[in-house]
Amino acid sequence: RDRAEKFEFQAEVSRLMDIIIHSLYSNKDIFLRELISNASDALDKIRFLALTDPAQLGEGDDAKLDIHIKLDKEKKVLTIRDSGVGMTKNDLIKNLGTIAKSGTSAFLEQMQKGGDLNLIGQFGVGFYSVYLVADHVEVISKHNDDVQYIWESKADGNFAVTEDTENEPLGRGTEIRIYLKSDAAEYAQEDKLRELVKRYSEFISFPIYLWASKEVDVEVPVEETEEKEEKDSDDTESEDEESTETKTKTVKETKWDWELLNDAKAVWLRNPKDVTAEEYDKFYHSLAKDFSTDKPMSWSHFNAEGDVEFKAVLYIPPKAPYDLFENYYSQKAFLKLYVRRVFISDEFDELLPKYLSFLKGIVDSDTLPLNVSREMLQQHSSLKTIKKKLVRKALDMIRRIVEEDEDEKLDDKKTDEEKEEKKGEVSEKKGKYAKFWNEFGKAIKLGIIEDTSNRVRLAKLLRFHSSKSGDKLTSLDAYISRMKPGQKQIYYLTGQDRKLLEQSPFVEKLLKKGYEVIYLTDAVDEYLTQNLTEYEDKKFQNASKDDLKLGSKDEKAKFKEVKESYKELTKWWKDLLSGEMVEAVKVSNRLADTPAVVVTSKYGWSANMERIMQAQTL
Ligand code: ADP
Ligand code: MG
Among 59-63, 442-446, 613-617, the range with the most confident prediction by mean pLDDT is: 442-446
Question: How confident is the model over 417-439, as a mean pLDDT?
Answer: 69
308 carries a ligand binding annotation: no
Sheet bearing 5-8, strands edge to edge: 5-8, 158-163, 149-153, 134-142, 173-180, 77-82, 67-72, 208-221, 248-260
DSSP for 165-232 reads -SSPP-SSEEEEEEEE-GGGGGGGSHHHHHHHHHHH-TT-SS-EEEEEEEEEEEEEE-HHHHHHHHHH
605 has a pLDDT exceeding 50: yes
Chain CA centroid to CA 437, Å: 16
The per-residue pLDDT for range 283-300, each reduced to its tens digit, is: 998 888 777 778 999 999
Reply yes or no on whether the pLDDT at 237 is more than 70: no
Q: Which ligand lies nearest to the CA atom of residue 103 in the structure?
A: 1
pLDDT confidence of residue 236: 53
Which segment of 48-62, 415-429, 432-446, 483-497 scores lowest on mean pLDDT? 415-429
Q: What is the residue type of 564?
A: E
pLDDT of residue 348: 80
For residue 618, what pLDDT band results from cuts at 50, 70 and 90?
very low
Mean pLDDT of 522-541: 92
Q: What is the pLDDT of residue 426?
A: 47
Q: Which of 167-176, 509-518, 582-591 has the lowest mean pLDDT?
A: 582-591
Instruction: Say if residue 150's pLDDT is above 90.
Output: yes
Burial (CB < 10 A; 0-12, 13-18, 19+), residue 541, is: buried
Strand partners, 339: 342, 365
Which of these ranges, 368-372, 479-483, 512-516, has the smallest mean pLDDT?
A: 368-372
pLDDT of 11 above 90: yes
Does any ligand 1 atom lie closer than 6 A to the CB of residue 126?
A: yes
Q: Identify which ligand lies nearest to the alpha carbon of 104.
A: 1
Regarding the beta carbon of 173 and ligand 1, being less than 6 Å apart is answered no
Higher pLDDT, 565 or 607: 565
Q: Sign (positive/negative) of CA torsion 508, 513, 514, 520?
A: negative
The string of pLDDT tens digits covering residues 50-80 is 988 999 999 888 899 999 999 999 999 999 9
34 annotated as a binding-site residue: yes
Pocket test for ligand 1, best of 12, 30, 41 (most atoms within 8 A of CB): 41
Task: Give the 3-state secondary structure of residue 256.
Answer: strand
DSSP secondary structure code for residue 351 in this structure = G
Res 274 pLDDT > 50: yes
Residue 99 phi, psi dihedral angles, 5° rounding = -110, 115
Q: What proportion of the chain, given as a percentage, has pLDDT over 90? A: 51
Average model confidence (pLDDT) for the chain?
Answer: 86
- Residues 6+ away with beta carbon under 8 Å from 115: 107, 109
Q: Ligand 1 test: best mutation among 9, 34, 95, most atoms within 8 Å of CB? A: 95
User: How crowded is residue 280: how many other Cβ atoms within 10 Å of its Cβ?
Assistant: 18
Q: How wide is the angle at C-alpha 441 spanned by C-alphas 438 and 447, nearest 5°? A: 165
**17 annotated to bind ligand:** no
Q: 402: CA distance to ligand 1 center in Å? A: 39
Distance CA 121, CA 291 (A): 9
For residue 331, give the DSSP letter: P
Write down the pLDDT at residue 424: 43
- Give whichever of 71-85, 403-417, 572-586, 599-613 has the largest mean pLDDT: 71-85
CA–centroid distance, 99 to ligand 2, in Å, is 15
Q: What is the reported pLDDT for 571?
A: 82
Q: Where are the alpha helices (DSSP H) in 492-591?
A: 498-502, 508-512, 524-531, 553-565, 567-576
Residue 12 CA to residue 202 CA, distance in Å, equals: 33
Q: Is 124 in the pocket of ligand 1 (CB under 6 A)?
A: yes
Please name the helix (run of DSSP H) or strand (run of DSSP E) that holds residue 391, with its range, or none. helix 382-404
Q: Is the distance from CB of 288 to CB of 362 less than 8 angstroms?
A: no
To test the pocket of ligand 1, the residue of 17, 38, 89 to mutate (highest count of ligand atoms within 8 Å of its CB) is 38
Q: What is the ipTM of this complex?
A: 0.99
Highest-confidence range of 6-10, 98-102, 540-544, 579-583, by mean pLDDT?
Answer: 6-10
* DSSP state letter for 154: -
Which whole-number Å values give the CA distances from 136 to 8, 21, 83, 181, in the listed order? Answer: 16, 10, 23, 8
pLDDT at 242: 55
pLDDT of amino acid 425: 45
Is 82 touching ligand 1 by the criterion CB < 6 Å? yes
In DSSP notation, 39-94 reads HHHHHHHHHHHHHH-GGGG-SGGGGS--EEEEEETTTTEEEEEE-S----HHHHHI
- DSSP letters for 468-481: TTTTS-B-HHHHHH
Q: Residue 554: its pLDDT value, please?
A: 66
Q: What is the rounded average pLDDT of the residues 256-283?
A: 90
Cβ(174) – ligand 1 distance below 6 Å: yes
Beta carbons of 36 and 67 less than 8 angstroms apart? yes
Mean pLDDT within 150-161:
96
**Residue 374, annotated as binding a ligand:** yes
For residue 31, the model assigns a pLDDT of 94
For residue range 319-364, list pLDDT tens digits in order: 987 767 776 777 666 789 988 888 888 878 889 999 999 999 999 9
